Amino acid sequence: MLRICLARRGADDRKNFKDVKGGLPRVSFREEMAGELKTSRTTIWKGIKSLQKSGYTVEGSPRLGYRLLQIPDLLYPAELSEGLQTEIIAKSPALIHHFLQVDSTNNRLKLLAEEGAPEGTVVVAEEQTSGKGRLGRSWVSPRGKGIWFSILFRPSKPLEDISVFTLLIAVAVARAIKKKLPQIDAGIKWPNDILIQGRKVCGILTELKAEADRLHYLITGIGLNFNSVRADFPPELQKTATSIFLENNGHPLSRKEMAGQILREMDSIYRKYLNNETEEILSLWKAHNITLGKKITIKSLRESFTGKAVDIDRYGALIIAGPGGDKRRFVAGEIIS
């Protein structure tokens, strides 16, 4: 609240203030702010100290008041939720749980889901110590270098409709990148990796809890390399991984804005999913994909198969035409070349 008050008052007063130092104008005396926030001067002082401890640069002068000079590029709930205007995902700051460090945002969100956390709950971390990929693989997630977050969904859908759900997440990320950086060609590799110039910038891991034919919840984890430079990747990933910063020619961007855009896109596509607009989701996926039309080799648990990727069906399964024209359908698997 205090952070919002500082920013809002600063913006209101900007026109009347000659700002020589940069940042938002000095806005208010402690008494004035205490009145506005209906709290005591001591609470304001404590709040300012706590903001400073969290990385906000707030300049204070007993005579002139406070001024918010810099906001840290951290994905705090108050920052991430500002201007989000989503209907389901992170629709209030209370639904966002921020951690400086966790083992895995998916694991942390699973604990919250088991405690009954509502749909749209988000766990975001600055760093993951055991970030997870699919099939027991790991996801490299250094501090402040990426957007590492997980979202909880509780759709009332039959289990057969779940596979198309994973496609929707990749569409949301691809669209968010396109909106923020139209010059960058981010494409979806089936089922849901996001690549730029052939290198992986984002991975998605969806886990679910279900019994018989009843879905309890879905947790989708997104790992988007954002500020990473080459040296942030272990040697074995340096040729295959990339980041938004690297692809944007080393121009820095705000993680908060990109994370917010992903959540907005996801909220809107997830609502289409709830409204059974599967065709539209599939066509959005097709518009962003880089797999269809290519000769590929896919490896599933049972076999490897080479052919041309010709389509995805309404369940999100990949249809591959073999050399003899025979068509095969893969619900899961990995494109290895």
Does position 104 bind ligand BT5 by CB under 6 A? yes
In the complex, what is the shortest distance from the CB of residue 297 to ligand BT5, in angstroms, rounded to a whole number?
A: 16
Q: Which of 204, 215, 218, 309 binds ligand BT5 (CB under 6 A)?
A: 204
DSSP-H helix ranges across the chain: 2-13, 30-36, 41-53, 77-80, 105-114, 163-180, 244-247, 255-274, 278-288
Does position 291 bind ligand BT5 by CB under 6 A? no
Question: Tokens 């749980």 identify what position?
Answer: 97
d(CA 27, CA 312): 56
d(CA 321, CA 26): 66
Question: Tokens 């997980």 identify what position?
Answer: 150
In the complex, what is the shortest distance from the CB of residue 310 to ligand BT5, in angstroms, rounded to a whole number?
A: 23
Does position 48 bind ligand BT5 by CB under 6 A? no
Q: Residue 200 or 271: which CB sits closer to ligand BT5?
A: 200
Q: Which of 76, 139, 217, 226 binds ligand BT5 (CB under 6 A)?
A: 139
Q: Which of 73, 134, 180, 185 binds ligand BT5 (CB under 6 A)?
A: 134
Residues 6+ positions from 284 with CB-CB distance below 8 Å = 171, 175, 269
d(CA 172, CA 149): 14
In the complex, what is the shortest distance from the CB of residue 305 to ligand BT5, in angstroms, rounded to a whole number?
A: 18
Q: Residue 28 or 106: which CB sits closer to ligand BT5?
A: 106
d(CA 44, CA 56): 15
Residues 6+ positions from 228 with CB-CB distance below 8 Å = 142, 145, 146, 241, 243, 245, 246
Stretch near ligand BT5 under the rule CB under 6 A, chosen from 18-26, 148-156, 157-165, 274-282: 148-156
d(CA 147, CA 170): 14
Stretch near ligand BT5 under the rule CB under 6 A, chosen from 17-25, 42-50, 201-209, 264-272: 201-209
CB 206 within 8 A of CB 219: yes
Does position 150 bind ligand BT5 by CB under 6 A? yes
Stretch near ligand BT5 under the rule CB under 6 A, chosen from 183-191, 219-227, 301-309, 314-322: 219-227
Does position 28 bind ligand BT5 by CB under 6 A? no
Does position 121 bind ligand BT5 by CB under 6 A? no
Q: What burial class does residue 135 get, using C-beta atoms within 10 Å of its C-beta: 0-12 exposed, 13-18 middle, 19+ buried?
A: exposed
Contact mark string toward ligand BT5, 158..197, x via CB under 6 A: -----------------------------------x----
CA dihedral defined by 107, 85, 179, 7, rounded to 10 degrees? -100
Residue ranges in contact with ligand BT5 by CB under 6 A: 104-106, 128, 131-135, 137, 139-141, 148-150, 193, 200, 203-205, 221-223, 225, 237, 241
